Amino acid sequence: MISFVDPLVSNYTVVDFRDKAVPLIEDIFARDKIPIVVGGTNYYIESLLWKVLINTKEKPSSAPRLDSDRKVELEQLDSAELHRRLSQVDPEMAAKLHPHDKRKVARSLQVFEETGIPHSEILHQQQEEEGGGPLGGPLKYPHSCILWLHADQAALDARLEKRVDDMVAAGLLEELRDFHRRYNREKVAENRQDYQHGIFQSIGFKEFHEYLVSEGNCSPETSALLLEKGIQALKQVTKRYARRQNKWVRNRFLKRPGPNVPPVYGLEVSDLQRWEEDVLKPALEIVESFIQGREPPAEPLRMEQDEENKRSHRVCELCARLIIGDREWAAHTRSKSHLHHLKKRRKLEASGRAGGTVGNSGDTETSDEDGSLPLP
């Protein structure tokens, strides 16, 4: 499953990936072999291991579709209108999603339109299946194990930056120019380029947009600056993506509630000079034990589940923002923007007291307990 989707297909989804991968996995099992899934994108791996996705087509096509889908059409609507529509057909899901999260809101609307069942109801059905849990349905392959290669953050960041430099040295720019010429130049000329869907949203292309569209139309000095800007942007977004993937492993694999969770074995890859001792030898021992039905010599990783509420709703009246989730709320109250507004309000209150007026003594933040949402 490498290089098999046409770059012009903009609506290839994780459901399409699952529908393509599962028959291959079953075929490998039928030949008495063990499938090895390598990633990558842990959301896609999760879609293979657990029943967490929703089919919105009665007969999913095995071939990628070149036509636009309903979700993309819905995303063209205004955020407030999208959320209003979802509130009418699925108020439970609307209460969980931020009004500005157009992708998730549009997806929930698409699920309802194409199935006639509220998205929230389908998720409840999955969770209530035998072996299901708060994050979705049951584990589809009970005899699985996960090998997680992880590294010290500083070592990982340095390695990712070097990888970008190596990609540039190996011909990344020539590949980008060719891809831009074949698939994107015409879109840019007609002002209809789209870096939110399909392969164009992938890391490594949109970061060089300014460089590619201006190459040959600006001075060599400006072109060099735009190139360096693209390289630095690629490094930053790559490191950010790696953090998100590690966070996904911790939250969706290691902290996953319930008994139907495959063991996750950590392999330390910070020091590549110790690859044999720290990675290869332990991995072979784990897999050999797994195949033979023995307990591996290594202990699987475990993490305690967080007590935080990821769906809590709070309104920051100072910043006129809706915040969803305890952790996001804590981060917001420490943010520069919030602290700036807080400092500004305290100055106004102080000047009001000095002038003999009475200021608003209410709290700076209020919980959105009645379910209302501020206007976007």
* Residue 348 CB coordination number (10 Å): 12
DSSP letter, residue 314 = E
d(CA 40, CA 48): 13
Q: Which of 125-129, 198-202, 281-285, 358-362 has the lowest mean pLDDT?
A: 358-362
Tens digits of per-residue pLDDT, 232-256?
999 999 999 999 999 999 999 999 9
| Cα–Cα distance list, 322 to 98, 128, 192, 329, 369 (Å) | 7, 30, 31, 9, 12
Tokens describing residue 27: 């075929």
For residue 362, which amino acid is it?
G
Contact of 332 with 317, CB cutoff 8 Å: no
Please state at what angle helix 220-248 crosses helix 42-49, rounded to 10 degrees.
30
DSSP letter, residue 301 = P
Contact of 37 with 43, CB cutoff 8 Å: no
Instruction: Give the pLDDT score at 367.
Output: 36
Longest Cα separation, the chain: 85
Tokens describing residue 342: 């807080």
| Cα–Cα distance list, 208 to 84, 117, 175, 177 (Å) | 36, 42, 12, 10
Beta strands in the chain (DSSP E): 146-150, 264-268, 313-316, 321-324, 365-367
Confidence of residue 265 (pLDDT cuts 50, 70, 90): very high
Instruction: Give the pLDDT score at 346.
Output: 84
Give the pLDDT mean for 114-131.
92
Residue 317 has pLDDT above 50, yes or no: yes
Residue 10 has pLDDT above 80, yes or no: no
Beta strands in 327-368 (DSSP E): 365-367
Instruction: Give the pLDDT score at 25.
Output: 96
Residue 360 has pLDDT above 50, yes or no: no
Instruction: Give the pLDDT score at 365.
Output: 38
Q: By C-alpha distance, which of 52, 86, 90 is closest to 71?
A: 86
Instruction: Give the pLDDT score at 121.
Output: 95
Confidence of residue 54 (pLDDT cuts 50, 70, 90): confident
d(CA 311, CA 330): 14
Element (H, E) at 198: none
Core vs surface per residue 276-285: b (16+ CB within 10 A) or e: eebbeebeee
Q: Which of 52-61, 82-91, 274-283 has the lowest mean pLDDT?
A: 52-61
DSSP letter, residue 70 = H
Residue 62 has pLDDT above 50, yes or no: no
Core vs surface per residue 119-148: b (16+ CB within 10 A) or e: bbebbeebbeeeebbebbbbbbeeebebbb
d(CA 208, CA 213): 9
Residue 14 has pLDDT above 70, yes or no: yes
